[in-house]
Structure 1
Amino acid sequence: MRRLETIDFSILWEGFKPYPFALYTSTEVCLEDKVIPWDTRFMGCTAISYEGSYLAIWNVEMDGVEENVANRDQLVMGIVHEMFHAFQQENNEKRFPMDLVGLNYPDDERNYGLKYVENQILARACREESKQVKQELFSQFYSIRKERERILGDIITYEYRLETVEGIAEYVGLLALKQLDKDQYEERLEDYCKKLETYNALQQDIRRISYFCGPVILTIAKACDLSFWHVLKDEGRPVFQIIGDKVQSEESVSVGYDEMLIQEVVKENRLAKSYQIDAFFKEKAREAIEGRYAISGYDPMNMFKLGNQVYCKNFICVTPLGKEESMMLMGPIVLEMDQDEVKKIYK
C-alpha cells in the first residue's frame, strides 16, 4: 500500500517500525505475497502472532469499519493502530486491559456524571489555542479523575489500561493520518471531541469511550509539553499516571452535572442489554452446555455482562477447567457465570 510507505514511523513513537499486515474477509486473507483461506486465527482488528512474527490484521467486513475501507488514508490509520499493537506485544507491554474484569464495571451514576464532566473538559482543552488555558483545563480534568479514583477504587485501572494500550495506538494512528492529510486529521480529532461532549450510551461504554479519551489526553499533553514517551517493556504505570505526575491540581473538586440525564441513560442501557438477552432466548430454543469453563478468548468490543449472564455477539473461546484445549463458539452466545467461571453455555 503506497500511502503506508510514505509514513515516517520514527516520529510517531520512538522505536516504532512498520509490521506486516493482512486484510481479510470471512472467506479469504490477503497477505503481502499471497491470499489464503480464512481461518480462526483471523478475528477482529488486532495484532496476532503469525508464523514466528507479529502481524497486524484488519477485518474489512467488520461493523463500523466501512468508512475506513473506503477512505484509504483512514484505512492506513487503522492499520498503523494495529501495527502499534504488534509493537506493544513484541516489546512485552504489561498494561493490556483486563477485559473480563471490565465486565464488572459498576453502573455508578456519580462516577458516570463526573466522567462526563471530565470528557467535556478534555474536548474544551483539545480545542483551546492558549497553552495556559489548556494547562488550567487539564489540571481540572486531573482533579476530577482523582475524585473518580476514590469512587471506583481499583477497577478504574481498567480505564487507565485502555487509555494506555488503545489510547496510545489510536494516538499514533492519528499522527500517521496527520502526515497523510492534515485536514482529515483535524476532522478526526474534532469528531473525537464531539463524541466526548455529547451524552449518550457511548459515554457509559467504558471500553469504546476510552478509544477517544486516550488520544485526546495525549494530544493535550503534547501541546502542554508534558512528556509521556517511554520504553514500553520498562513501564508499569498507565500513561495517565505518567502524565499526571507532572500536573498540578486541586486536592478536591466540586462540579455539577445533569443527574436526571445520567440516570436516564443508565436505565436505557440496562433495558437495551436486557432486551438483547431476552431476544436471544426468544428467537429459538437454545441448547445448554453445562460444565466448568474459563473464558480464554473473546471480542471485547462486542460483549457485555448483565447480572450473571455474559452476552457475546460475535464469538467466544472457552477452555474446560483443568484442560488445555479450548473451543471456539461463534455468536451470538450467552454464558451463565458463577463468579469468574462459566457454568452454562447457551447457543
Structure 2
Amino acid sequence: MDYDILLDTYIKIEERLEKLDLASLWPGFSKPPYALYTDESMCFDGELMPKPEYFYGNTAIHYDGSMIAIWMLKSEQIDTEEAIDRLTARIVHEMFHVYQVENGESRFPRDLELIAFPLNAELVALANRENDLLGKYTDMMVSDEHITGTLSQKQQCRLDAISILRRISELRSTMRSLSDGATINEWRVETLEGRAEYVGFKALRQLNSDLAIKEIDIYMKNLREATDAMDHRGRGYHSGLLLSSLAEMAELNLDTDFASEKTLWELIEEQLSATGESSEYKVILTDGELKEAHVMIDQEQRRRAEVLASFQAKFPIEKPIKASICGYDPMNLQRVGDFLISTSFLMINQDGEQHRLMGEHLIRMKPGDCWEVVALYEAGA
C-alpha cells in the first residue's frame, strides 16, 4: 500500500470522525491521537513517517509519551465507502481503549486463565440458551421501536429488556457456580472489549444507520460461532456489546467509573436487584440441550487434539526450560491440556531476560499453572 492511499484513507477517516458526537457515545469521551499504519509506514496526526518496530495489531499503545490508538490498514478494509464507515467505527473501538486506560480501567481479563476455561456440557448448554435470549434482543434492536416507536412501544421495549436480563441473570448465576467462578474472566472481556464494541457500534449508527442494522446480525452470528468454538474471549466481545445495549434499553443506571472493580455484568446484576424482585428460579436443562452441548464439546476436543498433533509433528524436539509468560497475543493463543499453542507472538521471561517468540510455537506449561513454562519445542533438522 503506497503513501497516497494511506494518507487518503486517514483524511477520509478524519472526515467521518468529525461528524461523530463522541461524548454522546460515552460521557466525557473525546478523540485521542491515533495512527494508521502498514508494514513499513504510518500516518500519525496527518503526517506520513516510518512505522515504529513495536507497533503490532489494532490496539491502544504508548507512543511518544502518550496513549494513542493504532490500526493496521489492509486494502480490503477500504474498498468501498461503506467499508470505511465500518473501519472508522472499529478505530473508535480502539480509541475507547485509550479512554479506558487513561481513566483507570483495571478489569482486564486474565487470558491465560480464560483459555483454560472448563469444558463442561452444562456450561455450554447454558451459554447456548443465553445466546437464544440475546438473539431475541437483536430482533428488538433491528426493529428500532425503542428509538422510533410510540411512547407505549418504548415502554414495552424497556420491560422486555429487563425481562431478558432477568432470565440471563438466572442462567449466569448457575454458570458462575458450575464454573467455580471461572466466568469472571469472560465478564471482564465483556467489560473491556464488549463496552468498546458497543461504543464502536453506536459510532457506526451515527455514521451509517443502515449499515449498523446489518451489523447486528453479524454480531449475533459471531457470538454463536465463538460459543461453538469455546472461544470465551471472542464471545465476550459480542455478549458485552449486546448486554451494554440491553442495559441501555432497560434504562439501568450503570456506574461508568472505570475505577470500579465490578464487571459490566456485576453492575447489571446490582441494578436488577435494585429494581425489585429477585428470582430464585432453578435452571433446568433439557436432554436435547445437553445432547447438543456434548456434541459441541466432542467436536471441539477433536479439533484441539488435531491442532496439537499438527504442532507436535512440526516441533518434535523438547527443550526443558524454566521461564514464565510475560506477554502474548490473546487472539492467537490456545491451550490443550498442559500445552500452549501460539500462532502470533509470545513473550517469555527466562533468567530475567525477555524473549519474543514470533510465529508458530508450542510450549508446555507446568501442570495446573497458567504462567510457568517448563519446555519449548523446536523443529527437527
TM-score scaled to structure 1, two decimals?
0.91
RMSD, aligned CA? 2.1
Residue in structure 2 matched with residue 239 of structure 1 by the alignment: 264
Answer yes or no: is 1:56 the counterpart of 2:69.
Answer: yes
1:88 Cα offset (Å):
1.2
Aligned counterparts of 1:190 and 1:184: Cα–Cα separation in 2? 11
Residue type at the aligned position of 1:277: L
Residue from 75, 78, 85 that aligns with 2:90: 78
Residue in structure 2 matched with residue 149 of structure 1 by the alignment: 176
Structural mapping, 1:1-347, within 5 Å:
1-32=14-45, 33-39=47-53, 41-61=54-74, 66-67=76-77, 71-128=83-140, 130-131=156-157, 132-196=159-223, 198=224, 202=228, 204-233=230-259, 235-247=260-272, 248-251=277-280, 252-256=282-286, 257-283=288-314, 288-321=318-351, 323=352, 325-338=353-366, 339=369, 340-347=371-378
Aligned counterparts of 1:111 and 1:230: Cα–Cα separation in 2? 29
8 Å CA contact 1:318–1:328 kept in 2: the answer is yes
Aligned counterparts of 1:217 and 1:136: Cα–Cα separation in 2? 13
Identity, in percent, stands at 29
Aligned counterparts of 1:90 and 1:49: Cα–Cα separation in 2? 11
Distance 1:199 1:97, change over 3 A: closer
8 Å CA contact 1:171–1:215 kept in 2: the answer is yes
Distance 1:161 1:314, change over 3 A: same
8 Å CA contact 1:113–1:259 kept in 2: the answer is yes
Aligned counterparts of 1:165 and 1:98: Cα–Cα separation in 2? 12
1:14 Cα offset (Å):
0.7
8 Å CA contact 1:126–1:134 kept in 2: the answer is no
1:202 Cα offset (Å):
4.1
8 Å CA contact 2:23–2:30 kept in 1: the answer is yes
Distance 1:270 1:30, change over 3 A: farther
1:145 Cα offset (Å):
0.9
Structure (1 or 2) with the larger CA radius of gyration: 2
1:290 Cα offset (Å):
3.2
Task: Indicate the SS of the match to 2:173.
Answer: helix
Task: Indicate the SS of the match to 1:34.
Answer: strand
Aligned counterparts of 1:34 and 1:67: Cα–Cα separation in 2? 19
Distance 1:139 1:272, change over 3 A: same
Aligned counterparts of 1:141 and 1:151: Cα–Cα separation in 2? 15
Alignment deviations for residues 115-164 of structure 1 (CA, whole Å, 9 cap, x no partner): 11011101212323532223222211111111111111221110110110
5+ residue gaps in structure 2?
A: 1-13, 146-155
Aligned counterparts of 2:95 and 2:112: Cα–Cα separation in 1? 24
Deviates more, 1:184-193 or 1:107-116: 184-193
Distance 1:26 1:263, change over 3 A: farther
Query: What is the aligned length?
Result: 338
Aligned counterparts of 2:343 and 2:60: Cα–Cα separation in 1? 21
8 Å CA contact 1:3–1:73 kept in 2: the answer is yes
Aligned counterparts of 1:29 and 1:292: Cα–Cα separation in 2? 38
Task: Indicate the SS of the match to 1:153.
Answer: coil
Alignment deviations for residues 233-271 of structure 1 (CA, whole Å, 9 cap, x no partner): 2x1100111111122442133343522221122122122
8 Å CA contact 1:143–1:250 kept in 2: the answer is yes
Aligned counterparts of 1:112 and 1:228: Cα–Cα separation in 2? 28
Task: Indicate the SS of the match to 1:304.
Answer: strand
1:342 Cα offset (Å):
0.7
TM-score scaled to structure 2, two decimals?
0.83
5+ residue gaps in structure 1?
A: none
Aligned counterparts of 1:232 and 1:5: Cα–Cα separation in 2? 26
Residue type at the aligned position of 2:324: A
8 Å CA contact 1:164–1:239 kept in 2: the answer is yes
